[in-house]
Amino acid sequence: MTIEIASTAKSFGGWHKQVQHESKTLQCTMRFAVYMPPKAVSGEPVPVLYWLSGLTCTDENFMQKAGAHRMAAELGIAIVAPDTSPRGDDVPDDPDGAYDFGHGAGFYVNATQSPWSRHYRMYDYVVHELPEIVEAEFPVTSTRAISGHSMGGHGALMIALRNPDRFTSVSAFAPIVNPIDVPWGQKAFSNYLGDDAEAWKAYDSCVLMAKAEQFVPALVDQGDADGFLNEQLQPETLRAVAEERSYPLELRMQEGYDHSYYFISSFIEDHLRFHSRYLGA
């Protein structure tokens, strides 16, 4: 695998880099961001937190707005943030230019329907191809955690639930927890996966948690002033499943917080410390 370092910036004694590569999984050029803490810069391998962003975002949003580098540097955790979907002139987009489908809205699934199935395979990219590249090219271990926001929170929870042997812990900010029953998820899944709603369940965190055999410790933060709370997010659905299964989920409602990166930056230190306990950082 050939990678290209597109940009580099020093941050809290470590390095933030933007990396480009040709993805075999997505059949396009992809970019991801990586933060290497000082421990990794000195050559000591560190564990990795994978961050999945939400609708309309890229690899840049979290790295620039979340304020996570200081604590990642202190704890000795690398952070890897992929783009949210495949992009490029050859990659189909929403024909109406909508923000909640197509470019920037891959929903972390493996599409099965034309014309999306050739490129929109973000599940395989995040679970397999991206970690293989990161672990081959950077001083990191194979110990991984995963986190995300909104659509990326859906991705993080779903991927951890499907791969409890690959991730030590999972966290999310304002995740779409039950996509098969909300408008954002229904639009994406019907296009990417087709009309058979049974196929959608493989990517729904509430469905997956209800039948989980292995548990991954989970932390979820949700702002009670989030404009998407009632229609799209519905965290109480996930809480109910977790209580029924005695799943190790801590779900915190945060008074007055909305869906923005102001919310994420307010609690990202908690999430990094949470993951550090399980990563052994």
Distance CA 88, CA 109 (A): 18
Is residue 60 classed as helix, strand or coil in its secondary structure?
A: helix
180 CB-contact burial (10 Å; exposed 0-12 / middle 13-18 / buried 19+):
middle
CA gap 103, 281 in Å, rounded: 35
Told to judge if 270 belongs to the known catalytic residues of this protein, a careful annotator would answer no
Please check whether residue 85 is in contact with residue 102, taking contact to mean a CB–CB distance below 8 angstroms: yes
Residue type, 73: A
The one catalytic residue among 103, 205, 226, 276: 226
Is 20 in contact with 30 (CB distance < 8 Å)?
yes
Structure tokens at 267: 């609690």
The CA–CA distances, whole Å, from 214 to 69, 143, 164, 261 equal: 31, 17, 6, 31
Residue 150 designated active-site: yes
3-state secondary structure of 20: strand
94 is catalytic: no
Given 69, 103, 154, 259, the catalytic residue: 259
Cα–Cα distance measured from residue 104 to residue 85, given in angstroms and rounded to the nearest whole number: 5
Alpha-carbon distance of 247 to 235, in angstroms, equals 14
Active site residues: 150, 226, 259
